[in-house]
Amino acid sequence: MKLDGQCLCGAVTVSAETETPVLRACHCDMCRRHTSSMFISIPTVQESQRVDGPAKSYRSSDRAERGFCARCGSTLWYAMTRSGERNLAAGLFPGAGGGQMKYEFFADMCPGGYALAGEHRKLSSEEMIALIAPNDGDKT
């Protein structure tokens, strides 16, 4: 399935293919600071991703960088610096790319002021650290 989207001002356009349009929400401190909420991504085929326009990135830790539009500031992606895997923001695509919520990351860090409805897998900080940093204990 091909996805086409854009940032708030339209200066950055994004396209990618997805095999499984699912949504993943991250509640870690950095994602919440970057978006003022949770970061919701949609998995896409890495080789199919195309980003055109004034996209910039910020290296937020030894492990990650976060993309944004240089004109309007819209969140574009979260990328793992070691693997190069880029997770595109679901909000770039109409209807969040048709995805359904399947995962919440750092679910124990979700603020009390909001919660996601429905049945989906919720991974705690401990579970996420075991997945993304099994040897060094680094968070995001």
Kindly report, residue by residue over 70-127, the tens digit of the pLDDT: 999 999 999 999 899 999 999 999 999 999 999 999 999 999 888 898 999 999 999 9
Within-domain flag for 138: no
pLDDT at 111: 92
Report if residue 53 sits inside a domain: yes
Banded model confidence at residue 137, pLDDT cuts 50, 70, 90: very low
- % pLDDT > 70, the chain: 95
Across the chain, mean pLDDT equals 92
Beta strands in 73-122 (DSSP E): 75-80, 86-89, 100-105, 121-122
Is 107 strand, coil or helix? helix
Output the pTM of the full model: 0.88
Number of domain units in the chain? 1
Average pLDDT of the residues in 121-139: 77
Structure tokens given for 31: 């994602």
Q: Which domain holds residue 10?
A: 2-132
CATH number where 43 lies:
2.170.150.70
Report the C-alpha gap between 66 and 88 in whole angstroms: 10
Please give the pLDDT value at position 135. 61
**Which residue is associated with the tokens 């897998």?**
121
